[in-house]
Amino acid sequence: MVVSTINGTSPLSHSNGTTIPLSTFSRNSFVNVEKGDPVAFRPYWEKVRDECTVEIKGDEWMSDLGDTNNLCWYMVPQMRDAILRLHNVVGNAVTKDKFLVLGTGSSHRPINVVAAAPYYSEYKDATDILQSRLFQWTGDAALYDKDEPYIEVVTSPNNPDGTLRVPVVNSGVEGKIIYDLAYYWPQYTPITYQLDHDVMVFTFSKCTGHAGSRIGWAFVKDIEVAKKMITFVQLNSIGVSRESQIRAAKMIGVICDGYKNLKSIESDHLFFYYSKRLMKERWEKFKGAIEKSKVFTLTKYPTSYCHFNKDLSEQYPAFAWLKCLEGIKDGESYLEKLKIRTRGGARFGVDAKYVRVSMICTEDEFIELCTRLSNAKRE
Amino acid sequence: MVVSTINGTSPLSHSNGTTIPLSTFSRNSFVNVEKGDPVAFRPYWEKVRDECTVEIKGDEWMSDLGDTNNLCWYMVPQMRDAILRLHNVVGNAVTKDKFLVLGTGSSHRPINVVAAAPYYSEYKDATDILQSRLFQWTGDAALYDKDEPYIEVVTSPNNPDGTLRVPVVNSGVEGKIIYDLAYYWPQYTPITYQLDHDVMVFTFSKCTGHAGSRIGWAFVKDIEVAKKMITFVQLNSIGVSRESQIRAAKMIGVICDGYKNLKSIESDHLFFYYSKRLMKERWEKFKGAIEKSKVFTLTKYPTSYCHFNKDLSEQYPAFAWLKCLEGIKDGESYLEKLKIRTRGGARFGVDAKYVRVSMICTEDEFIELCTRLSNAKRE
C-alpha cells in the first residue's frame, strides 16, 4: 500500500492553463466527478494545438460592436459563419429562417420556469438568485397545473440522466418551450433528426470541450423573442467577449475543415469521430465497473440511426445517472465514503438514491473512478 | 460642395475588426457620439500591437476553472496579478485587505437602487429588465427618503457629466454604497486619493479602450458581499471568458511595464501619458468649438493635484455634458438637425436641454463633431 502526500493531490495547473494529470491517486484523495467540466477531449486539441492557434494583436477587436448590420450587434461575422457551418456539417438543427442570438451560455432564463425531473440543478439556482418578478423557478414540469403562462425547458439529451425528452407540461394555457440542446452532438447521442423548434439553445463548451470561453447561442424563430434575448445579453454584459468569439470560430473552423473532401468518417483526426470513440470506450469500461460492483443500476438508452455517423448507435451521455440498489438511501454520501465526489438526486428534484457522475473528466480521473466503483462492494 | 454616396458612410470594418476611418463625412451622414465605445485610444494600441499580441493554442485555457485556491474561482492568476499591479502603478485604489471579484462589467446590480441625477442611463435599464424582486430602480438618490434599505451607486467621475461625487441619500436607515470608478483613471481625471471604499467597481473597457473584452472587477471589503457577487457571476455566465482574461492581463502588463525603470513620465510610449494628452487636446479643441457656437454651456471642472502625473490638472471626462441656452428645449433633437447623434438628458433623469456627447470617439468623428458644433449658429 502506498501512502503519499505529494501524489494523489488534484492535478497540477500549468501557467498556460493546461493540466498535468498525475498518474496515480492516493487512497485518501477524492475523485471529483461532481461537476461537468468537459476536459475529456483535451488530448484531441493537444494534437491539433498549432492549427487551432489564434493570435490577437493589441489593436484588434477593441470595439464592443460585432456587426452593426446584424440584429445581434455584438456577434462578429466569423462567429456567425462558424456556427451556421457547424450545424450544416452535423445536421442537428434547422438554421434557416431563424435568428441567431449569441450569449454567454445562459441566455435561457425564463415567467414560470419548469422542467421535468430530474432536471439540471443549475436551472433552479440561476432562476432563484435573480429573484425575478418575471421569472420564477416552479419546479417539476410534470406537476405543473397552474392556468398561468409558463416556460418549459426541455433538455434533450437530458442533464443529468441522458434521456431524450419531449415537453410534458399539461396546462390549460399555452406555454413557451425552450429546447436546451447542449448535448445534441454526435459524440453523445445519435443525430436522429434535424430539429426545428421555435427556441433551440446550444453551448460551445459541451460540443468541443472549451468551457473557459463561455460561448452559447440560440436559434429563435420569433424576432420579438430574439430581440428580448439580445437586450438581456446586452444589459447583462454588453455582449459577449470578442476574444472568445474569435477563438470559438477558429476551433469550429478546424472541426468543419476536417469534414471537407473527406475519404472516411472513421479517423481520429476528425473531432466527432475521436470524441465519440472516446465516449463509447468510457461507457463500455464504466458499464463493466458498475456490473462488477453490484451496487448500482444504470439508465438504459435506446439504439438509433445516426444521420451524421451513418450507423446505428447507442447514446453515450456526458453524465452517468446511477441508481443505488436497495439499502442505500443516499447515493452521494455512499460514494463520498468511497472517495468519489458526485451530485445527488435531490439537486435534480428527485430521490437521493440517484447520483450524477461526470463521464467527461480527465482520463486519469475516469480510470480511478472505474477502479473505485468496481471495488465498491468490498468497502 | 461635394455630394457623395461612397464617402461619408460609416467607417468600413476590416475583417480583423479594425476600422478604417474615412477622411471625410458627407453633409448628410451622422456623426454618432451617442454611445461611449472608447475607440479614441486605438492609435496607441496600433503602435504597440506586436508587443501586445496574445497567442492561444488549441488546448490552452479549456477549463472553466481559473484558480481553485481563490474565492473567485473563475479568475486566472495572471488576471488577478495584472489588476493588482495596475492599481499599484496608478495609485487610485487601496487593494489591501479586499476581495477581488472579476465580472463581465455588470456585477453591480443592487434592493432599492438609486443614483444622484444625472445618472448613467443604463443603470435604470439594467435594473428594470431583470424585473427583480430584490432590486428595483428607484431613481434619483437626492429624492430618496424611504425608510427602507437601499443601495446608492456613486459614479465618480460621473457618467454623463464628469463631476466628482459623494453619496447624497438622506434616509433614516443605513444603505450600502457602491462606487463605480469606471472613469477614475489618469487620462480622465487627476488621481487625488487612493480610494478605500467598501465596494469599488472598475472596468477594463474605459481604462484601456478594449471594450470588446467585457472585463470588469470589484474590490470588496466584506467577504459575504464578495461571495454573493461571485455567485451572481457564476450563475449568470459561469465565470468570465478565459480568452478575455488572458488578453486583458497582457495589455495591462504592457502598460505597467512602461512605468518600470522610467526616466520621464512624459512620453507617448506610456499609455496614460498618451491618453491624457489626447483627452486634453480634444477638450481644448472642443471648448473652442462650443465657445464659437454660442449655443451651449459646458460643466466647469476644478483643478486638482494628480498624484500619478505629479502635476496640477483639470479633468478631461470621457463625455461632455452640454446644456443648451435659452430657447432650445430639446438638445438631442436640436443636435439631430445638425446631424449629430447624442443622448438626451431625459435618459439620465434630468431636463431635455442637456445632452451627453462622447469624447472618446474616433479622431475623424471628433473633428467633424467640432466642425459641426462650431457652425451650429449658422444652421
Could you tell me if B88 and B135 lie in one domain? yes
Q: Which amino acid type is present at position B29?
A: S
Is the per-residue pLDDT at B362 higher than 50? Answer: yes
With respect to residue A157, please indicate whether it lies within any of the assigned structural domains: yes
- Do A125 and A115 contact (CB within 8 A), yes or no? no
Distance from CA of A163 to the nearest CA of B (A): 24
- Which chain B residues are closer than 8 Å to A60 by Cβ? 16-18, 49
pLDDT of residue B126: 57
Q: Which residues in chain B are contacts of A51 at CB distance < 8 A? A: 58
Contacting residues of B for A10, CB less than 8 Å apart? 68
Q: What is the pLDDT of residue B17?
A: 45
Residue with more model confidence, A87 or B266: A87
Looking at the structure, tell me whether residues B113 and B243 fall in a common domain. Answer: yes
Instruction: Assess whether B110 and B169 both reside in one domain.
Output: yes
Answer yes or no: do B82 and B222 share one domain.
Answer: yes
B299 has pLDDT over 80: yes
CB contact under 8 A, B62 and A125: no
Q: Which residues of B touch A246 (CB under 8 A)?
A: 243
> How confident is residue B367, by pLDDT bands cut at 50, 70 and 90?
very high
The shortest C-alpha distance from B325 to chain A (Å) reads 33
CB contact under 8 A, A133 and B132: yes
- Residues B277 and B254 grouped into a single domain: no
Contact A94, A194 (CB under 8 A): yes
A17 and B242 in contact (C-beta within 8 Å)?
Answer: yes
The predicted pLDDT at position A320 comes to: 96
Instruction: Give Cβ neighbours of residue A291 (< 8 Å, ≥ 6 apart).
Output: none
CB–CB of B213 and A241 under 8 A? yes
- Answer yes or no: is pLDDT of B6 > 50: no
> CA A115, A120, A124, A126: dihedral to nearest 10 degrees?
-120
**A109-133, pLDDT tens digit by residue?**
434 566 666 766 666 665 554 444 4
* Cβ–Cβ below 8 Å for A106 and B236: yes
Question: Of A258, A286, A320, at which residue does a domain stop?
Answer: A258
Asked if B58 and A64 come within 8 Å (Cβ–Cβ), the reply is no
Mutate: best of A241, A251, A362, partner B, most B CBs <10 A: A241
Give me the CATH number covering residue A291.
3.90.1150.10
Q: Do B244 and A241 touch (CB under 8 A)?
A: yes
Mean pLDDT of all residues in B295-318: 94
Of residues B153 and A302, which shows the higher confidence score? A302
Q: Which chain B residues are closer than 8 Å to A201 by Cβ? A: none
Average pLDDT over residues B323-328: 89
Count of CA atoms in the C-beta half-sphere (13 A) of A194: 11
Question: Residue A7's pLDDT band (boundaries 50, 70, 90)?
Answer: very low
Which residue is associated with the grid cell 448507435? A313
Beta partners for residue A350, in sequence order:
none
The answer to whether the CB of B49 falls within 8 A of the CB of B377 is: no
**In sequence order, what are the residues at sequence separation of 6 or more whose Cβ sits closer than 8 angstroms to the Cβ of residue B239?**
A212, A214, B64, B66, B73, B74, B233
Q: Which of A131, A237, A251 sits opposite B214 (nearest CB)?
A: A237
Whether residues B57 and A53 touch (CB distance < 8 A) is answered with: yes
pLDDT at A44: 95
Same domain, B238 and B273: no
Say which residue, B126 or B224, is predicted with more confidence: B224
For residue A4, is it within any domain?
A: no
Residue A296 shares a structural domain with residue A369: yes
- Write out A296-358 in H/E/C secondary structure: EEECCCCCEEECCCCEEECCCCCEEEEEECCCCCCHHHHHHHCCEECEEHHHHCCCCCEEEEE
In chain A, residues with a C-beta closer than 8 Å to the C-beta of B247 are 56, 243
- Let me know if residue B117 belongs to a domain: yes
Task: Choose among B132, B212, B241: nearest Cβ to A61.
Answer: B212
Among residues B223, B178, B225, B193, which one has the least CA distance to residue B93? B193
Domain count, chain B: 2
Based on the domain organization, do A231 and A293 belong to the same domain? no
B71 found inside a domain = no
Q: Which of A32, A42, A63 to mutate to test the interface with B (most CBs of B within 10 A)?
A: A63
Nearest CB to B63; choose among A122, A212, A236: A212
Domain span including residue A328? 12-46+268-378
If asked whether residues B231 and B274 sit together in one domain, one would say: no
Contact B236 A236 (CB under 8 A): yes
Scanning every residue of chain A, which has its alpha carbon at the shortest distance from the alpha carbon of B362? A63
Q: Domain end: B207, B231, B258, which one? A: B258
Distant-in-sequence, close-in-space partners of A206: CB < 8 Å, separation ≥ 6: A36, A38, A182, A183, A185, A188, A318
Q: Does residue A171 belong to any structural domain of this protein?
A: yes
Write the CATH number for B226. 3.40.640.10
- B209 with A62: Cβ contact below 8 A: yes
pLDDT at B1 > cutoff 50: no
Pairing of strands B176-180, B199-203: parallel
Interface test mutation site (partner A, options B45, B60, B113, B341, max chain A beta carbons within 10 A): B60
Residue in B closest to A213 by C-alpha? B241
Q: Do A244 and B239 touch (CB under 8 A)?
A: no
Question: Could you tell me how many CB contacts below 8 A there are between chain A and chain B?
Answer: 217
Q: What is the ipTM score, two decimals?
A: 0.77
Residue B16: what pLDDT? 45
Closest CA–CA distance from residue B208 to any residue of chain A (Å): 9
Whether residue A254 is found in the same domain as residue A273:
no
Q: Do B58 and A45 touch (CB under 8 A)?
A: yes
As a whole number, mean pLDDT of residues B214-227 equals 88
- Interface test mutation site (partner A, options B47, B59, B74, B81, max chain A beta carbons within 10 A): B59
Co-location of A325 and A203 in the same domain: no
Mean pLDDT of A159-174: 84
Decide: helix, strand or coil at residue B245: helix
At residue B271, what are phi and psi to the nearest 5 degrees?
-55, -45
- pLDDT at B135 (0 to 100): 53
- pLDDT above 70: residue A16: no
Q: What is the DSSP letter of A202?
A: E
Q: Do B62 and A50 touch (CB under 8 A)?
A: no
φ/ψ of residue A314, rounded to 5: -80, 175
CA distance B369 to chain A (A): 20
